[in-house]
Chains A and B, each alone.
Chain A
């Protein structure tokens, strides 16, 4: 009987390790973990990093959310937006355009007709300016929703912003579909000149709620 590819590859790996056993290794984790920064410092760091990626940042209190969201959408002329089914409807109370609630059976090309999308987020990392979206969370929506429209407005509670990458990764649910966003879609493939927006949203707007 001939061996399957699986058996062959695994036996080759075992042979290789028998022929040249590697050094016994303990992973040193002396890098920084468990960092905590006061709200003002974390906010300042996060905003600095977001702006560096040419993300547009707005800060407000939780009670001002609806006004700021409406203002940002208006500024972009967004008349028709999509939202995940679990998004807090109060955030859109001041928006006068059309709101489409997403569901799994809406085909991607239809999302292409939207002017933008509004979502929440799961956690963020201040040091790298990264926003983590969990597609299994009802207020963040499936992955296509935050990908196809050209404008993504993300509402972030400051309390969910972690200092560094280890602190943020520790808060994820690993088996959910996760998307890490650091600024808008970008490319530097032509003579290393940065161009915003190739295939993902070309505009990323972030609203940070400082008391939430």
Chain B
């Protein structure tokens, strides 16, 4: 509101388009305090975290594979989902205006927020207008992104998270570490201790049994659900055609917040709009299966404006930019806006599985977070901006691309962000090394010579054939992993040798004898 970037030209101005601003530096939760390698280094030392994460990601991964494999048209659904989102981005202005019109037609009020600061102010004004000094919250990435709870607190309003995991995180004065299961880094004993310490009047004999812990949360929140005047939610989808909003959840806390209070305020990123009601037939199949590995999540609520005699009679929709238009203006990065926040990419990522979500420093962790966070908030807010380390927080193995229900090519986006980062950060040791590598690879003779020289790397290696300390600028790499020594011989020289030719002939003969070996029919 006060930043000069917000004094942008109005919509009737027809002239040179300007690049929209990113989410303002220093506001909200789109930037950690430390670069990824430093934060990850500490998180890696937490064995409990790694055990919990390992179990969680493996289990969700297996479930997801089972239920996506059930659908013979899974790939067609992904194609449709991807195209609907791409089409949505192309038509964003008209779709947002249509959504606004339809929500107003059905008795709702629509607000627009240029950034998180403005969204926080709008929500605060609306809450104060009801005379209430507390709000119920449904788990919402957008409000986490803008730091709404902290802002409300500074304004004398208490926000109660009602999703069990979010409640655990909030009571522990902690931050979520996973999009879907935010308290995955905590085990049952820790949760029991948190409840004993933080929930007033909780049974001191509370056992560390998940069912008992959930019952304690139910009892604690039930009274709040029955008496609260205001709730704040996010939205999984907003349908332009009808003005319908949607929240997908499991526990019923979403249904409570969307149904019982008199006032409902929904904060939705502008990229969450979908053109047609019919599009839900695609996303209601893609989202739960990709997310929790269920055929369908237990509860989905759909509501349009207000309904006399049923649910909140005062409904507000806050449409949030906060860097989304900046991401949209980036020809490559805009694909990240297609994300439906299912967390499938987190659960298959070998890097996330070991470091956990906190190392990314953003509301959006994991592979998609490494792309989306710099897109929304930039990579150069300050010298050594932690966000500039995020594009490197990946091994580029490609598992995230395979898992993504809307086919976001996350590895390519990460490479593009790395390119943007090196372009902008001037001459560094890595950049010089990469430039040297490019020069060598373009000239076959030099390449062969370099491969021979690489054989010298064997001299650096210990008896186990690995190199544990590389000289700068590669020390960052070797500090956290051992590097296998380069092979005695390059593939090209082995292929050209008599030994190589013999091996290839033998392999070819073997292949003829067993033509079907190792090839599995896919349905």
Do A and B associate with each other?
A: yes
Which residue numbers of A lie inside 8 Å of B, CB to CB?
A: 2-33, 49, 52-53, 104, 108-109, 112, 125, 127-130, 135-136, 142-144, 147, 165-166, 169-170, 172, 174-193, 195, 197-201
Closest-CB distance, B162 to chain A (whole angstroms):
7
8 Å CB contacts to A: which residues of B236-263? 239, 241-244, 250-253, 255-256, 258-260
Residue in B60, B77, B164, B310 whose Cβ sees the most chain A Cβ within 10 Å: B310
Question: DSSP class of A's interface residues: helix, strand, loop or mixed?
Answer: loop
Cβ–Cβ < 8 Å partners of A176 in chain B? 304, 307
Cβ–Cβ < 8 Å partners of A5 in chain B? 6, 111-114, 118
Closest-CB distance, A47 to chain B (whole angstroms):
14
Which residue numbers of B lie inside 8 Å of A, CB to CB?
A: 6-11, 13, 17-21, 52, 55-56, 59-60, 72-73, 76-77, 79-80, 83-84, 86-87, 89-90, 92-93, 96-97, 106, 111-114, 118, 162-165, 168, 181-184, 187-188, 191, 210-211, 213-214, 217-218, 221-222, 225-227, 239, 241-244, 250-253, 255-256, 258-260, 270, 277-278, 280-282, 284-285, 292, 294-305, 307, 309-311, 319, 321, 325-326, 328-331, 334
Closest-CB distance, B86 to chain A (whole angstroms):
5
A31 partner, pick from B9, B17, B73, B307, beta carbons under 8 A: B73
Closest-CB distance, B181 to chain A (whole angstroms):
6
* A200-B255 in contact given A11-B10, A177-B310 (Cβ < 8 Å): yes
In the complex the two chains form, is A28's CB within 8 Å of B79's CB?
yes
* A192-B326 in contact given A31-B76, A182-B296, A198-B251 (Cβ < 8 Å): no
In the complex the two chains form, is A15's CB within 8 Å of B251's CB?
no
Cβ–Cβ < 8 Å partners of B307 in chain A? 135-136, 176-177
Alpha-carbon separation in the docked complex, A11 to B92 (Å): 11
In the complex the two chains form, is A13's CB within 8 Å of B214's CB?
no
Residue in B92, B213, B298, B299 whose Cβ sees the most chain A Cβ within 10 Å: B298
Alpha-carbon separation in the docked complex, A2 to B226 (Å): 43
**Additional 14 contacts, C-beta under 8 A, given A9-B319, A12-B21:** A9-B96, A9-B114, A12-B8, A13-B93, A13-B96, A31-B77, A128-B285, A147-B252, A177-B303, A180-B300, A186-B250, A189-B164, A199-B162, A200-B252
- Closest A residue, CB atoms, query B74: A31
Cβ–Cβ < 8 Å partners of B20 in chain A? 12-13, 15-16
* A10-B73 in contact given A170-B281, A199-B256 (Cβ < 8 Å): no
In the complex the two chains form, is B8's CB within 8 Å of A11's CB?
yes
Residue in B295, B303, B331 whose Cβ sees the most chain A Cβ within 10 Å: B295
In the complex the two chains form, is A199's CB within 8 Å of B253's CB?
yes
In the complex the two chains form, is A26's CB within 8 Å of B83's CB?
yes
- Closest B residue, CB atoms, query A30: B76
Total residue contacts A-B, CB cutoff 8 A: 293
**23 pairs of residues in contact across A and B, judged by CB atoms under 8 Å:** A7-B10, A9-B113, A15-B20, A15-B325, A16-B325, A19-B19, A108-B226, A125-B296, A136-B307, A147-B259, A166-B281, A174-B277, A174-B302, A178-B301, A181-B298, A182-B298, A186-B298, A187-B250, A189-B183, A190-B168, A192-B181, A195-B210, A197-B218
Closest-CB distance, A19 to chain B (whole angstroms):
5
In the complex the two chains form, is B73's CB within 8 Å of A32's CB?
yes
In the complex the two chains form, is B251's CB within 8 Å of A185's CB?
yes
- Closest B residue, CB atoms, query A110: B226
Closest-CB distance, B42 to chain A (whole angstroms):
23
In the complex the two chains form, is B80's CB within 8 Å of A31's CB?
yes
* A199-B83 in contact given A8-B6, A25-B90, A108-B226 (Cβ < 8 Å): no
Residue in A136, A186, A188 whose Cβ sees the most chain B Cβ within 10 Å: A188
In the complex the two chains form, is A29's CB within 8 Å of B252's CB?
no
Closest-CB distance, A101 to chain B (whole angstroms):
14
Alpha-carbon separation in the docked complex, A8 to B113 (Å): 9
In the complex the two chains form, is A9's CB within 8 Å of B325's CB?
yes
* A175-B243 in contact given A28-B80, A32-B73, A199-B253 (Cβ < 8 Å): yes
Alpha-carbon separation in the docked complex, A13 to B239 (Å): 18
Residue in B17, B83, B113, B330 whose Cβ sees the most chain A Cβ within 10 Å: B17
- Closest A residue, CB atoms, query B167: A189
Closest-CB distance, B486 to chain A (whole angstroms):
41
* A27-B87 in contact given A13-B270, A135-B307, A198-B214 (Cβ < 8 Å): yes
Closest-CB distance, A33 to chain B (whole angstroms):
7
In the complex the two chains form, is A19's CB within 8 Å of B299's CB?
no
Cβ–Cβ < 8 Å partners of A189 in chain B? 163-165, 168, 181-183, 214
Cβ–Cβ < 8 Å partners of B188 in chain A? 190-191
Alpha-carbon separation in the docked complex, A90 to B250 (Å): 33
- Closest A residue, CB atoms, query B318: A5
Closest-CB distance, B105 to chain A (whole angstroms):
9
* A182-B106 in contact given A20-B331, A199-B252 (Cβ < 8 Å): no
In the complex the two chains form, is B309's CB within 8 Å of A142's CB?
yes
- Closest B residue, CB atoms, query A147: B255
* A11-B13 in contact given A104-B310, A135-B310, A182-B298 (Cβ < 8 Å): yes
In the complex the two chains form, is A191's CB within 8 Å of B214's CB?
no
In the complex the two chains form, is A177's CB within 8 Å of B302's CB?
yes
Cβ–Cβ < 8 Å partners of A142 in chain B? 309-311
Cβ–Cβ < 8 Å partners of A30 in chain B? 73, 76, 79-80
* A186-B11 in contact given A104-B310, A175-B106, A180-B300 (Cβ < 8 Å): no
A15 partner, pick from B19, B183, B255, B334, beta carbons under 8 A: B19
In the complex the two chains form, is B221's CB within 8 Å of A199's CB?
yes
Cβ–Cβ < 8 Å partners of B270 in chain A? 9, 13
Alpha-carbon separation in the docked complex, A165 to B71 (Å): 12
Cβ–Cβ < 8 Å partners of B242 in chain A? 174-175
Alpha-carbon separation in the docked complex, A129 to B294 (Å): 11
Closest-CB distance, B348 to chain A (whole angstroms):
16
Cβ–Cβ < 8 Å partners of B90 in chain A? 17, 21-22, 24-25
* Top 3 A-B residue pairs of the complex, sorted by shortest distance between their CB atoms: A200-B252, A104-B309, A16-B329
Closest-CB distance, B50 to chain A (whole angstroms):
14
Closest-CB distance, A192 to chain B (whole angstroms):
5
- Closest A residue, CB atoms, query B183: A189
Cβ–Cβ < 8 Å partners of A21 in chain B? 90
Alpha-carbon separation in the docked complex, A174 to B258 (Å): 17
- Closest A residue, CB atoms, query B248: A180
* A185-B299 in contact given A15-B18, A15-B329, A23-B86 (Cβ < 8 Å): yes
In the complex the two chains form, is A192's CB within 8 Å of B310's CB?
no
B295 partner, pick from A108, A129, A136, beta carbons under 8 A: A129
In the complex the two chains form, is B302's CB within 8 Å of A192's CB?
no
In the complex the two chains form, is A31's CB within 8 Å of B112's CB?
no
Cβ–Cβ < 8 Å partners of A16 in chain B? 17, 19-20, 325-326, 328-329, 334
B296 partner, pick from A20, A128, A177, A200, beta carbons under 8 A: A128
